[in-house]
Structure 1
Amino acid sequence: MNVETGTEGTTNEPIMNEAPVVTAVTRISAPAQDVWRVLVAFDQYAQWHPVLSLDAKPEQVVVGAEVPGHISGDDAAGQDVTMRIVDVQAPRRLVWEGGSLDAILGRHSFVLTPQPDGTTELTDSEEFFGAAAAELIPILGQLSKQYSRHGAALNARVERLSG
């Protein structure tokens, strides 16, 4: 992300050239298809995800579907959320959006890349847009650590189910 400050005659508020982004990469000891099955089993997130529970079934993994859920733990006091699926390329890519441009809209993507050794590289990223997105800049490092924990939890779940 690039952040610049205003020039003479303008305010010194940050001008964002790119959306703030948080990314975590996790190597998972299973084929992409096994990781995908866990990733899209929305009704089972509460069994493994540290902060997110979802109220949808895997058959609802289609573009345009709304996925209601609840965030708790970490610094969240408990918040209901609804994500809308905007891209599905099974078993390689899942993207959903949640929030509002009036505040913060997050576009969360999960990209599964099969590796030659039979493992899968998970790239878990979220871009933030909206009026308050710049407020996330100071905590992007903290968010990255949280996303790494989510990847580790997914890895543990896939390994338990695979083997």
Structure 2
Amino acid sequence: MNAETDTDGTGRKPIVKEAPVVTAVTRISAPVEDVWRVLVAFDQYAQWHPVLSLDAKPEQVVVGAEIPGRIAVDDTAEQDVTMRLVVVQAPHRLVWEGGSLDAILGKHSFALTPQPDGTTELTDSEEFFGAAAAELVPTLDQLREEYSRYGAALQARVEGLSG
């Protein structure tokens, strides 16, 4: 866990000294370029991602682009989201932000690292900021499992297209 909490002596909600972070690492049996192509094919997320569908084309992969979408956690709850691309370093790094500092702002990053055996190591990480970020600390292990599931879904999609 990367977050430390403390109180300010008033009995109010904890203050986050470091932003909570969740990270999952997945090895994908495909070159970085193949993983990148699937990662930035935003309009195809609904075909492989367990909870996220996005409404943008790959040509919109530029810093500052706003990517609208939906998160469907279960069959009944669906939430509209908008991610703003803040880092695009093809084909190695993609970072987007979504949310609000008034509640929770997530800074989600994908790092693709080529391995000597021709595979790709995907590091999927999200750092949380904002007034309610401290409330995520007890759920970081659960979130880590979810991000591992997302990495496995990306792995299956990429390897299914490559193989």
TM-score band (shorter)? over 0.9
- The Cα shift of 1:15 comes to 2.9
| Residue ranges of structure 2 left out of the alignment (5+ in a row) | none
Q: AA paired with 1:90?
A: A
Moved over 3 A (4+): none
Matched, 1:5 2:11: no
Q: CA separation of 1:76/1:85 partners in 2, compared to 1, >3 Å: closer, same or farther?
A: farther
Q: Over residues 33-52 of structure 1, what are the superposed CA-to-partner deviations in whole Å (9 max), with x where a residue is unaligned?
A: 00000000000000000000
Q: Over residues 79-101 of structure 1, what are the superposed CA-to-partner deviations in whole Å (9 max), with x where a residue is unaligned?
A: 00000000000000000000000
The residue aligned with 2:146 is: 146
TM-score between the two structures when normalised by the length of structure 2: 0.94
The residue aligned with 2:89 is: 89
Q: Secondary structure at the match of 1:62?
A: coil
What is the CA–CA distance in structure 2 between the aligned matches of 1:21 and 1:105, rounded to whole Å? 12
How many equivalent pairs are there? 161
The residue aligned with 1:109 is: 109
1:48-87 superposed matches below 5 A? 48-74=48-74, 77-87=77-87
Matched, 1:35 2:35: yes
- The Cα shift of 1:74 comes to 4.5
Q: CA separation of 1:115/1:76 partners in 2, compared to 1, >3 Å: closer, same or farther?
A: farther
What is the CA–CA distance in structure 2 between the aligned matches of 1:76 and 1:123, rounded to whole Å? 30
- The Cα shift of 1:17 comes to 1.7
Q: Is the 8 A contact 2:30 2:118 kept in 1?
A: yes
What is the CA–CA distance in structure 2 between the aligned matches of 1:76 and 1:102, rounded to whole Å? 26
TM-score between the two structures when normalised by the length of structure 1: 0.94
Q: Is the 8 A contact 1:3 1:14 kept in 2?
A: no
Q: AA paired with 1:45?
A: Y
What is the CA–CA distance in structure 2 between the aligned matches of 1:140 and 1:44, rounded to whole Å? 27
- The Cα shift of 1:26 comes to 0.3
- The Cα shift of 1:77 comes to 1.1
- The Cα shift of 1:4 comes to 4.0
What is the CA–CA distance in structure 1 between the aligned matches of 2:101 and 2:16, rounded to whole Å? 15
What is the CA–CA distance in structure 1 between the aligned matches of 2:7 and 2:23, rounded to whole Å? 27
| Residue ranges of structure 1 left out of the alignment (5+ in a row) | none
Q: CA separation of 1:40/1:151 partners in 2, compared to 1, >3 Å: closer, same or farther?
A: same
